[in-house]
Structure 1
Amino acid sequence: MSVDKPGNRPGEVAIEALRRIDPRHPRSYLAGDRLYNKQQRDKFQLPICAMGYQPVYDYALDQLGVKDHFAGAELIEGNWYCPSMPQPLKDATKDLAAGRIDKQTWIDRIRERTTYLFMAKERTDAEGHRRLMCPAEARRTQCTLKPYTLGRGIHLPLIDPDLGPVDAFKCCDQRTITLPPEAGANLWQPLQYGTAEWQRVYFRLRNAIEGMNGFAKDPLRERIEPGGTRRIRGIAAQTILVAFQLAHANRRKLTSWADAIALHGDRPKRRPTRRRKTKPIGAWTPKGYVTTA
């Protein structure tokens, strides 16, 4: 853990805590709220990728739509797409947030985006460079700028870029492009935003985070939120006392879990909590938490 003033150096504080995690634990997806994808890439996004984590983000209203370019490819809500993707697909989430389309239309447009997504050609190298191929090279579309991709069937969309007087983009001239780690690092994420897989991973991680926060804030238990439980001045003293409170919360959670399972053939000490019938996690969409407020 690491402690600082609220909203002060959140990226650096997160990195300090992550560096203290036992390296034997596997490192995969890492989720945070919208505060973290607004940090400077050198202080949060690039360090977590170097440690082996893959970010999973949600985005604020000013982060929706096309937000970056590299070699002609466009970064839209964390993923790289063909620059000739239809405009309604580029603005899908913006239109949902503005109330111009309904939830089902948004879901359909997110699925259509997959056709225009740049695909990984190789694994990310040790320095963080990613080699991607355009959707025509990935056999998802047909492009008039690459004649060898034509004639693959009418089931594949035909892309006919209107480049005007300028030359073709680099991503259209070449079979692949190599993205440096800093390209779009603030907003990039490996999962395609809005898909069922993204929803499953993001909401599961965010629910786990907020669930643990609420568990440790229990007014009849550790009560980490009110400062009255730590009546002493100084960041060092506050850090030590919060550490004790969180350790006690962790121990209480582990004890509760152990009491709900059968060990060594014995019956559980208490009956497991009956789960409520709820919607599948993939059924939830940004409508409801992407607002105009």
Structure 2
Amino acid sequence: MGYKPVYDYRADQLGKQAETQGAILVEGGWYCPSMPEPLINATIDLHAGRIERETWVQLIAARRAYRVMPKENADSDGYQRMMCPAEAGKAQCLLRPRSLGRGVHLPLVDPEPSPTGPVKICRQRTVTISPEAGAKHWQALEYGSREWQKVCFRLRNSVEGYNGYAKNPLAEGIESAGSHRIRGIAAQTILLAFQLAHANRRKIKKWLDTLPLGGERPRRRTHHRRQTKEPQTWTPTGHLAPAA
């Protein structure tokens, strides 16, 4: 249907999550298998208190140069051709001689020698990644990036805010077991749907009461929101103060 997942991870889901064709899945994104360990474990180190939040932001930004890039759009079945960052001109690699000498602004990848030789993504110009590979943790946006923070926390705040609205014990009270004394998952789901529909109608009615309909004064005054911080200034463990 065109939707793509955006979410945070539990503490035991951070770092390297899966591997396919030699590429590694790190917190939802496919990366070069030779990406440095400090970049792979950046969020783990943040939660463990081994690095500061400012350092975490810098490490997340440094991951971008090691990200596996799409060669073309995914087909109708979800399979997609991808290429290593050196092939895409985002990094320099000793296994890709033509990628060398492009400037000091590009990181130099130095793969560790292996008795079995380079992995598939390092041998071929492109590889095909299936939709099943890493599907449990994959997400479209780069974890921890400004775009991810803006979308993830905005959606999360909206969901949590609506949950609190529908849990109002003086209204729908969806959290109260006494308001839905019925057995069975199907029956509970149908009842919850009616409760949420009623919560939606209550929200709409409250909004309509703030409009000057028919030339009359609105029945309610509009709600003035408190000033909040920008969503992209938040990190997985709290607020990141702007640099001095």
**Cα gap change, 1:228/1:93 in structure 2, threshold over 3 Å: closer, same or farther?**
same
Q: Which amino acid aligns with 1:130?
A: Q
In structure 2, the residue matched to 1:172 is: 122
Q: Does 1:247 align with 2:197?
A: yes
Following superposition, the deviation at residue 158 of structure 1 comes to: 1.4
Q: Does 1:84 align with 2:7?
A: no
Identity of aligned residues (%): 59
In structure 2, the residue matched to 1:146 is: 96
Counterparts of 1:232 and 1:85 in 2: how far apart (Å)?
53
TM-score (norm 1): 0.76
Counterparts of 2:213 and 2:82 in 1: how far apart (Å)?
49
**Cα gap change, 1:210/1:164 in structure 2, threshold over 3 Å: closer, same or farther?**
same
Counterparts of 1:118 and 1:271 in 2: how far apart (Å)?
52
Contact 2:169 2:176 in 1 (8 A): no
Q: Which amino acid aligns with 2:157?
A: N
**Cα gap change, 1:238/1:75 in structure 2, threshold over 3 Å: closer, same or farther?**
closer
Q: Which amino acid aligns with 2:42?
A: A
What secondary structure does 1:55 align onto?
coil
Counterparts of 2:112 and 2:181 in 1: how far apart (Å)?
67
In structure 1, the residue matched to 2:68 is: 118
In structure 1, the residue matched to 2:242 is: none
Structure 1 gaps of 5+ residues are: 1-50
**Cα gap change, 1:234/1:74 in structure 2, threshold over 3 Å: closer, same or farther?**
closer
Q: Does 1:106 align with 2:56?
A: yes
1:261-283 deviation digits (Å, cap 9, x = unpaired): 56688765433211212211011
In structure 2, the residue matched to 1:31 is: none
Counterparts of 1:182 and 1:93 in 2: how far apart (Å)?
25
What secondary structure does 1:54 align onto?
coil
Q: How does 1:1-293 map to 2 (within 5 A)?
A: 51-235=1-185, 237-261=187-211, 268-288=218-238
Counterparts of 2:75 and 2:22 in 1: how far apart (Å)?
22
Counterparts of 2:230 and 2:74 in 1: how far apart (Å)?
32
What is the RMSD of the two structures over their aligned residues, measured on CA atoms? 2.1
What secondary structure does 1:56 align onto?
coil
